[in-house]
Amino acid sequence: MRNNANEPRNADDDPLRMKIFQADPVLNYSIPELPVEVEVKFTRNFSLLEGEKILLHKGSKRAESIPCSLVLPNLPVLSAQFSLTNYRVVIEPNDNQWSYQNKVRPQLFDIPLLLMQRVEKTVDKSNTILDISTKDGRYLRAVISNTIQSEFNVFPTLYSGAFPQNPINRFAFSHTFCGQVDGWKLYNPQNDYARLGVNPNKPDCRWRFLDNSTGEYCETYPEILVVPNDLPLMTIKTCASFRSKNRLPVLVWCNTRRSATLWRCSQPKTGIRTSRCVEDEEYLRRLAQSSQRDPMLHIFDARPFVNAHAQRALGGGVENVNHYENTELHFLNIENIHCIRESWISMMVGINNASNTKYLSAVEKSGWLEHLSLLLQGACGVVESLQNGISCLIHCSDGWDRTSQLCSLVQICMDSHYRSLRGFAQVIEKDWVSFGHQFEVRLAHANPNLQDDKRSPIFIQFLDCVYQMTLQFPTHFEFNSLLLHDLALFAYSGRFGTFMGNCARDRVNLNLTGKTVSIWSYVFENLDSYACPYYQAGQDDPIVPIFSIRKLCIWHDLFSQWCGDFYYVVPQLLGPDDHKEALMRSTGEGIQLYKALIMQKDQEMKEYKRQIAELKEKIAQI
């Protein structure tokens, strides 16, 4: 008999489900009965976070863990302990099998509830089998006796924790963290714009702050917008109404040295009849004039040409440059969220299931590196225009996916501040959080529907692009790849409030700043873990990454961490951060060797000078 909270089990429903169980050796596996007196204990290497609590109870008694059997790919069936909290599931092999855990990454057994994308129950005569798959590619099976399942109500408790209907029931609203830095105060839009030279109080400033706290101009934009200072409010509102979701063009970055500015918006609503909007045309003319060096505006439409024009049938479309003065339109051919989702799934499944001989073919078939290449190539195109003193406007369809990717990547390339840890946090807060990337929808928080076509790893793709840049410019970034990896994990985990909600208004309604912890509070409390030892401050020139697929690398720490041999702990050097202490020690030893060699040569030089002096003295006597 099979049970699922939503529908009958169908392996094809779960695209990330690994077809690793050719048989079910655990169905008749003998599970010990739970003793009447539950032994209350913490399992090895498992301590509760602030606000975390055990959920397994039998009456008034609390069970820190219950006995189970654990099935993992390529490992024997292990007897283990199963713990369930309001944040995660922790499964630990028993002490007599501890050698297995010493060989396997401990994070494999520690799974945040919101990271789960599927929780499935199968029941036979004696046991309850729980199949768990996660959004980062983990798949495991826990087998619990039916007696224990009924006494502790394991599956319903697990399922409601993984897919809570009310956001308030997520762990982030229970978690507390006391750090020296309040991550919610890390990004201040007025301070960030002031750093860029935007000061509306100065008489010669070409920009002004627009109050959008009520969502009057755009409900999915932040409270403060920067717009040209000499445009009437009615013109701005009309322009907003001509853009999809009212996401009008607003300033995100400017280059005071080259007088070039960077703007973002959504597609124009030209429709089938290719409608015009005089106010929108005037607005973009002002953007072109913002560059004193070259009064041009380059519009970068992130979409493929065909897709962009197909949007006209849905009321969207593209700018007709014949109606926009001093503009050029460039299509970047970056695919939509559906293509990226399918590529991600293909990459995850291919890497996890492919044999050694077909591994590279699986990677190529997924097209993931090709999508990264197109995204980096698009960012480089914008960087080139900005370096030439030309102002740029970026949009896709609704202006919250590809637009966020491109704007943040361009700023990281152009501005060294955003390559520091604090600046990187600020650009994420600005271009992703405040400008309305739909984290709630794209990351599928608490959403058990795997057929939901709105989920897509857009933010993870951005992190992968940054990862590629850190490999190409290892001394230009203050942070290491572990930060990127942990951001990918914590974006899904539900531990912090930073990546919840779809826009600024959602976060205000949920009172995330008052009731949850910011991810940046945690990051800045663990700076030693995330600092890059090779970072050299003062490298302020723009960087232009190589976007050729030949130069791009598979992010193994993300894609391969749970597949085959990769979830074993093996002493290997995967990157500069893995053994940085050994590398730095080796570098130090090399420096000492060179110093000793220099001292030796210095002594030899002194001896030569002494001999020359003696020789000169003898010659003088002759």
Amino acid at site 176: T
Q: What is the DSSP string of 227-276?
A: EETTS-HHHHHHHHHTBGGG---EEEEEETTTTEEEEE---B--TTTT--
In 8-163, where does DSSP find H-type helix?
98-103, 146-152, 154-162
Based on C-alpha coordinates, what's the Rg of the chain? 29
Which residue, among 141, 108, 135, 113, has the nearest Cα to 49 in the 3D structure? 113
Dihedral angle sign, alpha carbons of residues 113, 115, 117, 121: negative
**C-beta atoms surrounding 95 within 10 Å:** 10
Burial of 620 (0-12, 13-18, 19+ CB in 10 A): exposed
Write out the binding residues for substrate: 336-337, 396-402
Cα distance between residue 433 and residue 186, in whole Å? 13
DSSP percent split of the chain into helix, strand, coil, nearest 5: 45, 15, 40
> What six digits make up the tokens of 280?
């929108």
Amino acid at site 477: F
Write out the binding residues: 336-337, 396-402
Q: What are 225's strand-pairing partners?
A: 210
Strand 391-395 and strand 260-264: pairing?
parallel
- Collapsed DSSP state (helix, strand, coil) of residue 129: strand
DSSP 570: -
Cα distance between residue 32 and residue 36, in whole Å? 12
Q: Which helix (H) or strand (E) holds 369?
A: helix 368-387
Cα distance between residue 105 and residue 91, in whole Å? 12
- Collapsed DSSP state (helix, strand, coil) of residue 449: coil
Cα distance between residue 353 and residue 347, in whole Å? 10
DSSP 568: B
Q: Which helix (H) or strand (E) holds 37?
A: none
Q: Which residues are the active-site residues?
A: 396
Burial of 328 (0-12, 13-18, 19+ CB in 10 A): middle
